Amino acid sequence: VAVKRLLSAFFDLAMGEIDLLIKADRHPSVVRYYAKEEDGDFVYLALELCETSLQALVDPSSERSSSSLGHKWLPQRGQEPPPK
């Protein structure tokens, strides 16, 4: 589980994100939403932990490359897989 913390001032943004995550639930390219908690200063979202980072996907030569984490490339519509 990963926890995303947002300032309470962004409560509306957090609720919009939750709504979108619920609508996209079970999509293989979208993290799952589990729960929301609030305190006086922050809104906390419990989300599925990603196996890799955006940095590793954009720059495969980075220290935590997607290949070292077993990430599989997910094609987008009309896109060819990268050369091996």
**Confidence (pLDDT) at 65:** 44
How far is Cα 12 from Cα 41, in angstroms, rounded to an integer? 14
DSSP structure class, residue 18: H
Please say if the pLDDT value at position 74 is more than 90.
no
pLDDT in tens, 24-46: 998 988 899 999 999 989 999 99
CB 67 within 8 A of CB 60: yes
- pTM, full prediction: 0.63
How far is Cα 71 from Cα 9, in angstroms, rounded to an integer? 35
Please say if the pLDDT value at position 68 is more than 70.
no
Average pLDDT of the chain to the nearest whole number? 81
Burial class (CB in 10 A: 0-12, 13-18, 19+), 26: exposed
